[in-house]
Amino acid sequence: MSLHDIQTRIAAAARKAGRDPSDITLVAVSKVQPDDRVQAVLDAGQRVFGENRVQEAATRWEARRDSVPGLELHLVGPLQTNKLARALELFDVIQTLDRPRLAAKLAEAREAGARIPKLFVQVNTGGESQKAGVAPDALDAFLDACRGPMGLEIEGLMCIPPVDDDPAPHFAMLAEMAARNGLRGLSMGMSADFETAIDMGATHVRVGSALFGARAYD
């Protein structure tokens, strides 16, 4: 589906929900995609991209950083603390702050004068043991620690619902948790369900395969 088609669907979903389409950011998730597909989406005007691996993102985007004005890179995959320095150089937004140790390292970097990307806290709304994210019942305390003693600004929350679940209850839960913590950002919704997510308040939708085509592997 073309970038224009996705933008049209986003705008339609926003209007249907009584929202302003410009309040929704499309994050084009380019992980694993061949470079020609990514270049085509860049050429069509897209500037916000998501990657799930630091090294892959560096390979694809480092050289383009200076030649693509307005480029905004989001990390949407897990961040190992040993890759943090690299991630701080590369990403404008980290959507996957998911544990106290990573928050502590970010706070340390901030103290040392590093530029800290915008941060979203990933919530494991499905309570899946293999999935990253803060447990829902630990979220409020985690946010308080980040924003209080650690001095980190948090933009919003992010979730990846379990593949076999109806995503709507997960989106509703994330929206409720954001509201009660005074957070505006809501990164939720992927290729199969971004319209549902927009209906439930998403400010960022992360669309990969619907935009670029199927991934060869994950």
Ligand X SMILES: *Cc1c(COP(=O)(O)O)cnc(C)c1O
Q: How many CB atoms lie within 10 A of CB 72?
A: 16
207 contributes a contact to ligand X by CB under 6 A: yes
Q: Which stretch binds ligand X (CB under 6 A): 36-44, 145-153, 164-172, 185-193?
A: 185-193
209 contributes a contact to ligand X by CB under 6 A: yes
* The only residue of 119, 134, 183, 190 in contact with ligand X, by rule CB under 6 A: 190
Give SS3 for 155.
coil
The HSE-up count of residue 42 (CA atoms within 13 Å, CB side) is: 21
Smallest distance, Å, CB 189 to ligand X? 9
Identify which of 39, 29, 143, 34 has the alpha carbon closest to the alpha carbon of residue 97: 143
Give SS3 for 153.
coil
125 contributes a contact to ligand X by CB under 6 A: no
Look up residue 31 and give its amino acid. K
Of the pair 77, 150, the CB lying nearest ligand X is at 77
Which tokens hold the place of 201?
A: 């308040």
Look up residue 166 and give its amino acid. D
Interatomic CA distance for residues 31 and 218, integer angstroms: 8
The HSE-up count of residue 83 (CA atoms within 13 Å, CB side) is: 16
Which tokens hold the place of 137?
A: 């019942």
Considering CB under 6 A, how many residues would be counted as binding ligand X?
14
Q: Which stretch binds ligand X (CB under 6 A): 3-11, 62-70, 103-111, 203-211?
A: 203-211
Smallest distance, Å, CB 62 to ligand X? 20
Q: Which parts of 65-124 interact with ligand X (CB under 6 A)?
A: 76-77
191 contributes a contact to ligand X by CB under 6 A: yes
Q: Which stretch binds ligand X (CB under 6 A): 15-23, 62-70, 138-146, 201-209?
A: 201-209
Which secondary-structure segment (H or E) carries 97? Answer: strand 93-97
* The only residue of 31, 74, 99, 170 in contact with ligand X, by rule CB under 6 A: 31
Of the pair 44, 192, the CB lying nearest ligand X is at 192
Contact residues: ligand X, CB under 6 A: 29, 31, 52, 76-77, 160, 190-192, 206-210
